[in-house]
Structure 1
Amino acid sequence: MFHYTVEANQTVEESVKVLEEVLREEKFGVLWDFDIKDTLEKKGFDYDQNYRVLEVCNPEAAKEVLTQNFMVGYFLPCKIVVYEDQGKTKIGMPKPTTLIELTGDESLKAFAEDIESKLVACMDKAANK
């Protein structure tokens, strides 16, 4: 499976707030919080589902991986989505290990595994607060 998704115990808004705090503890910052519902409504389109896309980054890790292979920039920053699905809040992301495979650079595998494990832990922690 190309993604990792968990069910959260809070609303979308609450989940985003908790996730931002947990990510900070792991030295990840939220560069952008794209509220799809709000944006579409401002453009005149009805969209009743809460759906947020967070672009997150650990600057030290980004510099390290880009120094090794600049093609990784196609996947940066990492994306985490928080949305409602049939009355449940979900937190998900495309797996960094899956994305890194697209570069064909085996030397980046351990790096992607490390980032993925940190983001999974953050998502799990945020979902269960």
Structure 2
Amino acid sequence: MFHYTLTSKRNMDQTIQSLKECLSEEKFGVLWEFDIKEKLQSKDIDFDKDYIVLEVCNPQEASRVLKKNQLVGYFLPCKIVVFDDKGKIKVGLPKPSVMIDLVEDEELKEIAIDIEKRLISAIDKSIK
């Protein structure tokens, strides 16, 4: 499976706040918070579901992978989504280990697996 997705026991705002704190513990910062519902509605597009995309980054890891292969920049920053799915708050991400397979480099795959584990750990902690 290309993604990791769980259901939160918290509401949307609590989940996002908790996720940001847990990401910080893993040395990841939120670069940007994109509210898709708000953006689409501002363009008069009918979209009524809460859907937030957090773009997250660990600068040291980003530098390390970009020095190895600049094409990895196509996958940066990492994305984590928090969204309402029929009244349940879901949190998930595309797995870095799956995406990195596209550049066919075992050393980068090991780094991606480590990053993935840390991001999943942050998600796991944030939803309880």
TM bin (shorter chain): over 0.9
Distance in 1 (alpha carbons) for counterparts of 2:107 and 2:58: 19
- Please give the alpha-carbon distance, in whole angstroms, between the structure 2 residues aligned to 1:45 and 1:101: 36
1:70 corresponding residue in structure 2: 70
Distance in 2, Cα, partners of 1:2 & 1:43: 31
SS at match of 1:102: helix
**Where does residue 12 of structure 1 map in the other structure?**
12
What do residues 28-47 of structure 1 show as CA deviations (whole Å, max 9, x unaligned)? Answer: 00001000011111111221
Structure 1 segments, 4+ long, off by >6 Å, are none
Percent identical pairs in the alignment equals: 53
Deviations 1:8-29 (A, max 9, x none): 0111222111111111111100
Cα RMSD, aligned residues only: 0.8
Rounded to whole Å, the distance in 1 between the matches of 2:11 and 2:38 is 16
Q: Which runs of 5+ in 2 are unaligned?
A: none
Distance 1:61 1:44 in 2: 39
- Counterpart in the other structure of 1:82: 82
Secondary structure of 2:10's counterpart equals coil
Aligned to 1:124: 124
Per-residue deviation, 1:108 = 0.9
TM-score scaled to structure 1, two decimals?
Answer: 0.96
**Following the alignment from structure 2 to structure 1, what is the Cα–Cα distance between the partners of residues 66 and 44?**
39
1:84 CA drift (Å): 0.6
- Further displaced range: 103-112 or 74-83: 103-112
What residue in structure 1 maps to residue 99 of structure 2? 99
Query: Which structure 1 residue ranges, 5 or more long, are not aligned?
Result: none
Count of aligned residue pairs for this structure pair: 128
Query: Is the partner of 1:80 in helix, strand or coil?
Result: strand
